[in-house]
Amino acid sequence: MDKTYYPRAADLQHDWLVADASGQTLGRLAARVARVLLGKHKPNFTPGVGNGDYVVVINAEKVIVTGKKLDEKMYYRHSLYPGGLRSISLRDQLARHPERVITAAVWGMLPKNKLGRELIKRLKVYAGPEHPHQAQQPEALMADS
């Protein structure tokens, strides 16, 4: 009888990838980034193990959405005080904090548990084309991965 392979911490290798969001659809980009964060593109993928890679997303302000989402999609937060519900449209959120749009989209595709909280820390999103992770020598994230 064969034993099930379970990767150890020494077996895991986390690469750095960079994704350019300019001209890409928000949901398709977020799905691709979530897949890489989870490690589903690797042959040693194991559910419940964070063997994915680090992902740097640049040009977050140039992401596109289809339909009327710019005005109809809303982001909500609550201050936990009575009457403390605040909302902001996607158009305003892209103008003020474009990195939060991609982070929220990717977070919606990750598991909501300890693993998901660990994986979202490996996502680095920047509004412009510059990022401080040149020392890690990130490779380009391909469209098929």
CATH of the domain at 128: 3.90.1180.10
Tens digit of each residue's pLDDT (9 = 90 or more) over 22-44: 999 999 999 999 999 999 999 98
- Quick count: other Cβ atoms within 10 Å of Cβ 55? 24
Inside any domain, residue 82? no
- Average pLDDT, whole number, for the chain? 94
**Which stretches within the chain are classed as H helix?**
26-38, 69-72, 90-96, 98-107, 114-120
Inside any domain, residue 85? no
Provide the domain count of the chain: 1
Inside any domain, residue 88? no
Inside any domain, residue 76? no
Inside any domain, residue 84? no
Inside any domain, residue 92? no
Inside any domain, residue 79? no
Kindly indicate the confidence band of residue 7, based on its pLDDT and cuts at 50, 70 and 90: confident
